[in-house]
Structure 1
């Protein structure tokens, strides 16, 4: 049942009635980013041109809202600084 105190478009089951799949996938692209901790062994999929690294090395990927990789950093602070420089809004993932 829809809560009458909130707009209909906030109901996830009905969201597709208001936005297409393409519109949903582009939501936040270019404006919103998030940081993902990643092990070096898992980098090839996201960053195909990355040089060989020690497999257990922990790195931080700055990703666009749609999951597109923006950059790779050796610290969370460096990834945040790059997001700030690019005027990206940071999203928190849980």
Structure 2
């Protein structure tokens, strides 16, 4: 559905004329990342090899634009530092 308040180039119908769904999915992968706070209880799904932790511990997952986990850190600052070192552009989540 076209958003009348958004730019024309953001309309998926228009974009699909130029890019396949797979190309849209790959957009930003390897260049753009985001940081997501995550509770230890939810870690097994993203990081199957993570050792047992207290459920109330909050960690920070650096994730690729497509949601693929890159690393897990004990602080947001450590995740940001790794993204900077890997020359990743950071995106904001809302």
Q: TM-score range by the shorter chain?
A: 0.7 to 0.9
How far is the alpha carbon of 1:2 from its aligned partner? Answer: 8.9
* Length-normalised TM-score, structure 1: 0.88
Match of 2:12 in 1: 12
How far is the alpha carbon of 1:18 from its aligned partner? Answer: 1.7
Match of 1:35 in 2: 35
Superposition map of 1:1-94 within 5 A = 8-94=8-94
Cα deviation 1:32-80 (Å, max 9, x = unaligned): 0000000000001100100000011000000000100000001000000
**Structure 1 residue runs of 4 or more that deviate by more than 3 Å after TM superposition:** none
Aligned length: 91
Q: Secondary structure at the match of 1:35?
A: strand
Q: Which runs of 5+ in 2 are unaligned?
A: none
Q: Which runs of 5+ in 1 are unaligned?
A: none
Stretch moving more, 17-26 or 65-74: 17-26
